[in-house]
Amino acid sequence: MVATHPVEVQLSGNQYLSTRNGDLTISPNQELLPLTARVNHQDCLEIGGCDVTTLVQQFGSPLYILDEATLRTACQQYRDTFKQYYKGESQVLYASKAWNCLAVCAIVASEGLGIDVVSGGELYTALQAGVDANKIYLHGNNKSRQELVFAIESGCTIVVDNWYELKTLVELTTTDSPTRIMLRLTPGIECHTHEYIRTGHLDSKFGFDPNDLDQVFAYVSEQPSLKCLGVHAHIGSQIFERQPHRDLGAVMVQWLRDAKKYNLELTELNVGGGLGIKYTESDDPPSIEEWSKAICEVVQAACAAENLPLPKLLCEPGRSLIATACVTAYTIGSSKTIPDIRTYVTIDGGMSDNPRPITYQSVYRTVVANKMSAPLTETVTVAGKHCESGDILIKNAQLPKTEPGDVLVVMATGAYNYSMASNYNRLPRPAAVLVANGEANLILQRETYEDIIRQDCLPERLK
């Protein structure tokens, strides 16, 4: 699908529409907007065949709009490229911390993916969505006893992060029904990404220190109540480089080799995720196929060099699966011009529905959904409505002349937006809709004021 009336690239919101719109063979992580995005005859943005301005009228704003076709395409590309390039068994897991809800879990599971969860709440959601426990892996650096018991009873695989957790599991498990585990190790590999989302370097809260490798393997080999499947590592997020993951695969195969000294026949190798996406025009991440091919090739080569059978190869993409499948629609309200300094345009959301700019200094792109062909005549700062000076969503956004009531769309908000959303200033969290083939279905209800005070308790003496 293409825009119904294309204009010059630098003159309107159409600049963000791929010239290959509707082509589901391209890699979603390399696009700014969902694959089904187009401009209709009313000069409005459509996603999944639904007019975004109409969605806002129907469901209100802020509104998360998730394009089912883009999400499914990303799932299929990961699944199929691993099958194509890896000669052994493989399993793609969705890192659901990016966005864990019933609908998202159900969609990725229907495409054959498993689920990576990092809490009891995410585990519960995945199970309620019908995900097979055999395809669920529980992570976390400080799992509670309650979460571990829940995981054991559910039958999922537990990715063990540290000595405390390992010894706690030994206390909780029995030899009658050994618990499946993997061991998370820190590979000592750094990559160029934000400090807060680097997890593979040695100075990280995650994973066993590689210097403890022999001791960990020796201990696990003596625990009949634990069935160790393999090893796991994750080096970070929003990564554009391919070499760190190539290095990771080679290091992890050496761990499989070392485990044999302790009669541990490890059969799974999980390389984590971390492939980046296109948040701005200058971002140039590898495609899903390029990333997958590099991982498959290095693991196979390393196994051949060590004369090891191919393990079951797992990976855990999150952001690159779902981020660009979703946009957030806001309604523009007040504005303020400070001569010779800047113009603020304010939306009806901000840091409570997207905390990434104030947390990570993340950069986003935006369009006015009801003025897609209008010339970009203004440079504005898009400000949120929260009582916080730092509640700035986008600095120096290029927009057409805006008015109150216009619908502003921020791109690539599927990852770590709803999942990190809060009730700061007691704002209700937004609704989310799933769009496909011209139909929109509510997948998350908008919170109400009643929802916000639901957990509040007022002692009798204060009434």
Report the alpha-carbon distance of residue 293 to residue 280 in Å, rounded.
Answer: 25
Count how many Cα atoms sit within 13 Å of the Cα of residue 449 in the half-sphere of its side chain: 0
Report the alpha-carbon distance of residue 56 to residue 62 in Å, rounded.
Answer: 8
Say if residues 65 and 328 touch (Cβ distance below 8 Å).
yes
Catalytic residue among 75, 105, 296, 387: 387
Cα 390–chain centre separation = 24
400 Cβ contact list (under 8 Å, min separation 6)? 12, 13, 368, 371, 374, 375, 376, 377, 378
E strands, 239-324, in order? 268-270, 312-315
| Backbone dihedral region for residue 354 (phi beyond 0: left; psi -120 to 50: alpha; all else: beta) | beta
Say if residues 238 and 197 touch (Cβ distance below 8 Å).
yes
- The C-alpha R_g of the chain, in whole angstroms, comes to 23
DSSP one-letter string for 136-175: EEE--SS--HHHHHHHHHHT-EEEE-SHHHHHHHHHH--T
344 Cβ contact list (under 8 Å, min separation 6)? 335, 336, 337, 338, 380, 381, 383
Q: Is 387 a catalytic residue?
A: yes
Report the alpha-carbon distance of residue 92 to residue 351 in Å, rounded.
Answer: 32
Q: CA torsion 309→312→313→319, rounded to 10°? A: -170
| Backbone dihedral region for residue 188 (phi beyond 0: left; psi -120 to 50: alpha; all else: beta) | left
Report the alpha-carbon distance of residue 176 to residue 170 in Å, rounded.
Answer: 13
Active site residues: 387
